[in-house]
Each structure stands twice: as C-alpha cells, then as structure tokens.
Amino acid sequence: MNTEIYYMVLKANPNDVNFKADTVFYACWVNDYNPEDALLKAQFKAGVYGFSIQDIVITSMLVHESDFINSEHELKCFKTAKETGFCGLVYGEPNDTTDKGIHTLNATGLLEIQEILNIMKKSKLKGRCLHYDSGNRCTEIINAHSIQNKKMLQVIAENGHVIVPVHDYSTLSKNAGKSTYDKRGINKVSTFLGFCGKHDTELFKVIDTAELKPTDEQVFLYSYRSLCREYFVKENALNDFSQMLSKVNNKAIKENLSLIRIGEESGFLLLKNLKKEYDELLKKKNFSNIEYLLFTSGQKPNMAFSGIINPDYDFEGNLLQDIANLSIELSSMTICSAPMKNGWGFLIVWLKSSSEICNQLIDSLIRSIKNGKSLPDMLFRLTLTFENHAFNPTFWENLSLDSKNQITKTFFIPADIFSQTNENVSTGVENIINWEFQSVIEK
C-alpha cells in the first residue's frame, strides 16, 4: 500500500485523564502516506480520547518494527497500527514509565460502525426522481447508471465486474484503515436511485440508444447525468452527516463532523444552483448553452467514468479558483467517457456561465501539450479527481505495483478528510494510461 508507520509523542494535560502524575504523554502510531497527515490524525484521536494537547514532544517519526522490540506494549501498538491504521497509549511521569504505567484508552460518545453503516445504507436506498417535472407519477424509481451502461461499463467489465475505488467501512477495517481499489459488480457501482423509470428512459434516450455523434443535446445530457449523480450523492451525504451529528456525543468527533458538514453544505448548494440552471435549459430544450471538448479514440476503452469537478489548479499548477472560499460562485465542469461509433470519447463539458475558469484550464492543457506534456496523462489525472471511475480488471491486473500505488495515492490522498494535499493535475501518474486520441471536437 506504500504507507509507513509514523510514531509521535504528544504531551497531554494530566487533569484530562485523571492521572497521579506530573506529566502525561500520549504516544501513537499512525499508518499513513505522509507525516503531515499522520500528525493531524494523531491530534484528532487525542481529542476523541478527551486530551487537550500541550506540546508535541516527538513529531511524526518514521519507525520500524525493530525500534520497539524491547517493549511489549509498544511492539503490540506498532503491529496494531499496521493492521488497523492507528494505535495509541498513554503514560505518566514520574514513576509511571514502566509497562505498569501504560493505560488503556477509552473514548466515550462514539458512534458504532454498524450505526454509521445503517445511516448510509438507508439514504443510499432512499430513491427519488430528480427530473424537473417529477411528482406523484414518479413512483417506480430505478437503479439508474450514471456511467453509460451498455456500451461503456459493460464493455470494460469482465464477468460483470470492474475495478473501482472503495472506502466502505468493511474495506477500511480489512486494509489498515486505508481506502483502496477493489473489484465490484457493475450493478453496485455507478448506479443511483435518482430517476423514475419513465423519466430516465425519456430523458436519456438519445444517449442510451445511440452513440455519441456528438449533438448538442447528447453532450448536454451526458453532462446533466454526471451532475445529477453527484447531486444525489451529495444530498445523501449531507443527510448522513446531520444524522450522525445528532447521534454522536464525543466532542472532538462532533467538531470534526460539523466542519465536514459545512463543506458538504456549501458543495451541495453549489450543485443545487447548477442543477437549476441545467433544468431551465432542459425545459426549454435549449442545448446550445454549453461548451465542450471531445477527444476521440479508436481504441477499446479500458476505463469508464462520469463526474463533476470545480477545477482549482490548471495543468501548469496555477491557481484557477479558491475552492475553500465559500463565498464565491465556483465554476464547474463535467467529465465523462462516452461510446462512439468507432471507439470512445473523453468528454469535458461546461455551461457558458463557467467558461472563464474552464477555458483557462483548457488553455493550460493546450500550452502543456505544446511543451511536450502527454495529453493522455493529463486527461487521466482529471479522471482521478472524482470518485465515479472504473477500470477494466485485466488492465488493472497488468499494471505494475508501483503504477497501482501511484493511482491509489493520487486519488485517495486528496480525498482523505485529514489530508492537506491538493488535487494536482500538473504532475503524477505518468506513462500509465495507454490512450491514443485521433481527433478533437470543440465547441
């Protein structure tokens, strides 16, 4: 997995833990990709256990099993962190540094994993029709595919399975607390209960029963479907956080969830406004209010994807828009793969209202190509900035371990809530994807 164990010792307030010692130390082992994120996690865990940290005595030191062979407790902690992602122990000084002085930690007010799973499962199954004209007649909600199913997902699948990023709790517990890529059935990935059968069939007929030509209507609908899937997922996430917040009593976790919720809330508001804009155009059948770039490939696809992003940096590493600034109306673009008559297309779409930022991103793409950067590498990096992407299993199996690790890190590190790493489309995952593009269609 390419992670390391980082060891740190934090000085805590003795009153927090009711110790008869002048000084209390909180030692922890964190399994992580980099020392900065490991330290943040340790500090968060300290909060969960009710400590206020007075000082950092040892900060994120890279350690190995051999460093702890002289202490039974520490060795055990090292091994636990390797398996589960984290382990901490607390001891006091003076006269409290022996194994006898090591105390077991108990946190209160946590949410049971099963409870979190139940909340998330419930909202995932809460179907609703996102069509602008939805109403009482939308009774039969279907499991709609957000990635074109027949000619895209089914083409890259083997025995009905594809490789996707997974970060459900059962995977985390099996994989040292780390998210990873794994095989899943195509009916479990990329589907969402976001439309009733009637509206789904009616609305997406021109992209589900015909290859991308492209017409403006087709391009618009691909973009709209990427948006709706994200809308569905974000609305669920927001409800999940509210429910978890109402059930959790641990102060540190509550604070952390509240912070995440603020981000989720503003993210959802943005999507809500954008969906309104799309819905208005859809009602009027005004499909010309879009701009797009389509790269066509004659190859058999090895990846399928559909997502929406707010580009923050361009391909040369320059800031485009500060996505942490909740007061600005962020520009968005959708990215998806679509089946074409002789192969497939990499489709990037945005509304005219987002054209200033999106054009800047595309300009940097063109400059980078002129400077010798690889177009497939750059486009591949774009697909790793959103979750809804899948690989052909054989393509994935044939990648070297190093390539798999690079992909895993590129996607999962910025996605981690403790991560301070930005999504970076200017470098990384070079020479992994083998796409060849014949032409580009632009509007």
Q: How many residues does the chain have?
A: 443
- Nearer to Zn ion by Cβ, of 200 and 230: the residue is 200
What's the rounded Cα separation, in Å, for the pair 279 and 285? 9
Residue 228 makes contact with Zn ion by CB under 5 A? no
Dist. CA 209–CA 351, nearest whole Å: 25
Q: Please identify, among the stretches 134-142, 205-213, 296-304, 361-369, the one whose residues bind Zn ion according to the rule CB under 5 A.
A: 134-142
Q: Report in angstroms how near the CB of residue 138 gets to Zn ion at its nearest.
A: 3
Taking the C-alpha atoms of residue 111 and residue 121, their distance in angstroms, rounded to an integer, is: 15
Note whether 194 binds Zn ion by CB under 5 A: no
Q: Name the one range near Zn ion by CB under 5 A: 87-95, 129-137, 147-155, 390-398.
A: 129-137
- Residue closer to Zn ion by CB (options 202, 322) is 202
Stretch that binds Zn ion, among 61-69, 198-206, 266-274, 320-328 (CB under 5 A): 198-206
Candidates 166-174, 194-202, 248-256, 278-286 — which segment interacts with Zn ion by CB under 5 A? 194-202
What's the min distance (Å) between Cβ of 228 and Zn ion? 12
Exactly one of 41, 178, 199, 381 binds Zn ion (CB under 5 A); which one? Answer: 199
- Name residues contacting Zn ion, limited to 163-182 (CB under 5 A): none
DSSP E strands, 321-409? 333-340, 343-351, 389-391
Q: Which is nearer to Zn ion, 138 or 336 (CB)?
A: 138
Q: Is 129 in the site for Zn ion (CB under 5 A)?
A: yes
Measured from the Cβ of residue 55, the count of other Cβ atoms closer than 10 Å reads: 10
CA angle centred on 153, ends 148 and 155, rounded to 5°: 120
Q: What is the spatial distance between Cα 186 and Cα 390, in angstroms, rounded to a whole number?
A: 9
Angle of CA points 44, 47, 53, to nearest 5°: 95
DSSP 210: S
- Of 119, 166, 196, 253, which one interacts with Zn ion (CB under 5 A)? 196
What's the closest the beta carbon of residue 141 comes to Zn ion, in angstroms? 8
91, β-bridge pairs: 25
In the sheet that 53-63 helps form, which strands lie side by side, from edge to edge?
53-63, 4-12, 23-32, 86-93
Binder of Zn ion out of 34, 134, 273, 289 (CB under 5 A): 134
Q: Name residues contacting Zn ion, limited to 46-85 (CB under 5 A).
A: none
Q: Restricting to residues 95-114, which ones interact with Zn ion according to CB under 5 A? A: none
Q: Measure the CA–CA gap between 202 and 110, rounded to whole angstroms.
A: 46
Closest CA to 78 of 8, 5, 25: 5
Could you say which of 24, 48, 63, 138 contacts Zn ion (CB under 5 A)? 138
Q: Taking the complex as a whole, how short is the minimal distance between the CB of residue 195 and Zn ion, in angstroms?
A: 6
Task: Answer yes or no: are the C-beta atoms of 222 and 347 closer than 8 Å.
Answer: yes
Find the shortest distance in angstroms from Cβ 286 to Zn ion: 21
Applying CB under 5 A, among 41, 45, 131, 225 the residue interacting with Zn ion is 131
The number of helix segments (H) and strand segments (E) in the chain equals 13, 14
Site of interaction with Zn ion (CB under 5 A)? 129, 131, 134, 138, 196, 199
